[in-house]
């Protein structure tokens, strides 16, 4: 059995893994680093996979770090190989190709696995998940090989709707099936969801809410999907089905080890597990908000601490930004709260598909939704993160010219020198 020895082992090569390399090198310039990835691409930006599917972005534009990043940082990169077993006492990771890696310090950044619903027919040809670059490649190839006219996307969240947008761009008629009463129900309120639903319908989409797929069907001996049956017994044509109902932390590697897990891996503020010198970051962690910036921040902090730094993860706020049907959107913090203790400020320009909502608690902004106009979203985000008292500017928050000059003087001075703030 071939053995690789390294000071630092990183299992996973997405945002958290790459950021961990940078975190380590910030503190330790020379210690050996090895990265294990079950994918065959040296790195890529996951938010871009829908643009790749739509043909808007080429494969060469997918990476967020260049190919020489690993050699510059003296990293041994092992692609297309999966860490299958972990011995936390002997500090050994066993790989799918028969090798083993002996390490001193470890980051587990295995991400999340798509939740595949237990639906009759889910193993038919033409049924895909949509979380990795390989999924986008497989879907793209399937569309090229077959005459795809209709697609069904199961799940009306962010992942599902990015798939929808790509399929619309390819001229495919799309039906969305969502269990909740509206699409984007976890990030948007009813009004914001309604704007996007109207735009999708104008683009030719069918939207079935409060519904699920009961069965995926094919014809005769053919194993290719041809339609789906909803729980309401309605049959919907489908030459292609994409399941996008969410992801769950990919904790298979740490099961039956001494590492503490619940739904995901449990970590402290240093991103360290209960086992000394073993860290975790990104979607594999418990109570993580599964967005790209969070994974990157956690990976960097873990890397610094693995190299004897003293960084601390203080948490983050939920934030999702996506453009659908040409409408830019962003949701920040607590957005779907209607209880008495919250004050809601709203502005709507229906004819322009513009909607703004600000959620206040005790004269502090705790959440925002912007649809159609997200130009000043960074300012509001700063107000949320810094817990700024907005009692003296509350009446200005939704004005069109609201900007840095409207902010409290003390907070403005705090922002001096920051880049990218809109005045």
The pair of structure tokens assigned to 265 is 């891996």
Long-range contacts from 102-105, C-beta under 8 angstroms, 24+ separation: 102/3, 102/4, 102/5, 102/6, 103/5, 103/6, 103/7, 103/8, 103/9, 103/34, 104/6, 104/7, 104/8, 104/277, 105/7, 105/8, 105/9, 105/277, 105/278, 105/279, 105/306
Q: What is the pLDDT of residue 376?
A: 87
User: Could you report the per-residue pLDDT of 144-183, keeping only the tens digit for each?
Assistant: 999 899 999 999 999 999 999 999 999 999 999 999 999 9
More confident residue, 219 or 265: 265
**Residue 318 half-sphere exposure toward CB, CA atoms < 13 A:** 14
Q: How far apart are CA 130 and CA 286, in angstroms?
A: 22
What region, left, alpha or beta, does residue 187 occupy, with left being phi > 0 and alpha being psi -120 to 50 degrees? alpha
Q: How far apart are CA 120 and CA 165, in angstroms?
A: 26
The pair of structure tokens assigned to 77 is 């990169």
Dihedral, CA atoms, 284, 123, 156, 329, nearest 10 degrees? 60
Judged against a pLDDT cut of 90, whether residue 409 lies above it is answered with no
The pair of structure tokens assigned to 91 is 């500090």
The pTM of this model reads: 0.90
Judged against a pLDDT cut of 70, whether residue 85 lies above it is answered with yes
Judged against a pLDDT cut of 60, whether residue 417 lies above it is answered with no
In the block, residue with structure tokens 């659908």: 324
pLDDT band at 421 (very low <50, low <70, confident <90, very high): very low
**Extended beta strands in 112-263, E state:** 112-114, 127-128, 150-154, 173-178, 206-209, 213-218, 225-230, 235-237, 240-243, 247-249
How many other CB atoms are there within 10 angstroms of residue 242's CB atom? 25
Angle between helices 292-306 and 15-27 (to 10 degrees): 30
Q: How far apart are CA 71 and CA 35, in angstroms?
A: 12
The pair of structure tokens assigned to 184 is 């984007």
- Short-list 139, 172, 114, CA closest to 52: 139
pLDDT band at 128 (very low <50, low <70, confident <90, very high): very high
State how far the alpha carbon of 198 is from the alpha carbons of 153, 187, 192, in Å: 17, 17, 10
Judged against a pLDDT cut of 50, whether residue 27 lies above it is answered with yes
Contacts for 383 with CB less than 8 Å, ≥ 6 apart: 364, 365, 390, 407, 411
pLDDT band at 273 (very low <50, low <70, confident <90, very high): very high
Q: What is the pLDDT of residue 410?
A: 72
Can you tell me whether residue 2 is helix, strand or coil?
A: coil
What region, left, alpha or beta, does residue 317 occupy, with left being phi > 0 and alpha being psi -120 to 50 degrees? beta
How many other CB atoms are there within 10 angstroms of residue 347's CB atom? 15
What region, left, alpha or beta, does residue 362 occupy, with left being phi > 0 and alpha being psi -120 to 50 degrees? left
Residue 418: phi, psi to the nearest 5? -70, 150
| Domains of the chain, earliest start first | 3-47+64-112+247-306 (3.50.50.60), 127-243 (3.50.50.60), 319-415 (3.30.390.30)
Instruction: Mean pLDDT check: name the lowest of 314-318, 338-342, 383-387.
Output: 338-342
Q: What is the pLDDT of residue 340?
A: 66
More confident residue, 1 or 319: 319
Q: What is the pLDDT of residue 317?
A: 84
Q: What is the pLDDT of residue 149?
A: 96
Q: What is the pLDDT of residue 420?
A: 42
pLDDT band at 346 (very low <50, low <70, confident <90, very high): very high
The b/e string for 180-196 (b: 16+ C-beta within 10 A; e otherwise) is eebbbbebbbeebbebb
């Amino acid at each position: 059995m071939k053995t690789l020895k390294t000071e630092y082992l990183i299992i996973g090569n997405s945002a958290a893994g790459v950021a961990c390399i940078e975190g380590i090198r910030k503190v330790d310039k020379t210690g050996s680093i090895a990265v294990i990835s079950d994918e065959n691409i040296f790195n890529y930006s996951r938010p871009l996979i829908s643009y790749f599917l739509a043909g808007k972005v080429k494969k060469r534009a997918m990476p967020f770090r260049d190919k020489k990043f690993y050699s510059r940082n003296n990293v041994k990169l092992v692609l297309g190989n999966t860490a299958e077993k972990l011995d936390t006492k002997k500090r050994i990771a066993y790989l799918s190709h028969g090798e083993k890696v002996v390490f001193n310090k470890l980051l587990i950044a295995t991400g999340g696995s798509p939740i595949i619903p237990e639906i009759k027919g889910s193993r038919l040809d033409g049924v895909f998940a949509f979380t990795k670059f390989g999924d986008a490649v497989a879907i793209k190839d399937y569309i090229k090989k077959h005459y795809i006219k209709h697609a069904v996307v199961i799940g009306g969240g962010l992942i599902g709707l990015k798939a929808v947008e790509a399929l619309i761009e390819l001229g495919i008629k799309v039906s969305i099936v969502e269990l909740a009463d509206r699409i984007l129900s976890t990030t948007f309120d009813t009004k914001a969801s309604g704007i996007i639903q109207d735009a999708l319908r104008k683009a030719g989409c069918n939207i079935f809410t409060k519904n699920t797929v009961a069965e995926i069907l094919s014809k005769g001996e053919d194993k290719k999907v041809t339609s789906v049956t909803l729980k309401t017994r309605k049959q919907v044509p489908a030459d292609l089905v994409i399941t996008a109902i969410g992801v769950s932390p990919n904790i298979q590697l740490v099961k039956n080890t001494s590492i503490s897990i619940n739904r995901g891996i449990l970590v402290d503020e240093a991103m360290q597990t209960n086992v000394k010198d073993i860290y975790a970051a990104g979607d594999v962690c418990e109570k993580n908000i599964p967005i790209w910036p969070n994974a990157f921040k956690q990976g960097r902090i873990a890397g610094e601490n693995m190299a004897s730094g003293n960084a601390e993860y203080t948490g983050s706020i939920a934030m999702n930004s996506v453009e659908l049907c040409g409408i830019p959107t962003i949701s920040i913090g607590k957005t779907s709260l209607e209880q008495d203790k919250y004050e809601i400020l709203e502005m709507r320009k229906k004819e322009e598909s513009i909607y703004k909502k600000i959620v206040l608690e005790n004269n502090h902004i705790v959440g925002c939704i912007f649809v159609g106009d997200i130009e000043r979203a960074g300012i509001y985000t700063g107000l949320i993160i810094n817990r700024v008292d907005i009692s003296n500017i509350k009446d200005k928050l939704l004005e069109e010219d609201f900007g840095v000059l409207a902010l409290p003087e003390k907070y403005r001075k705090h922002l001096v020198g920051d880049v990218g703030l809109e005045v």
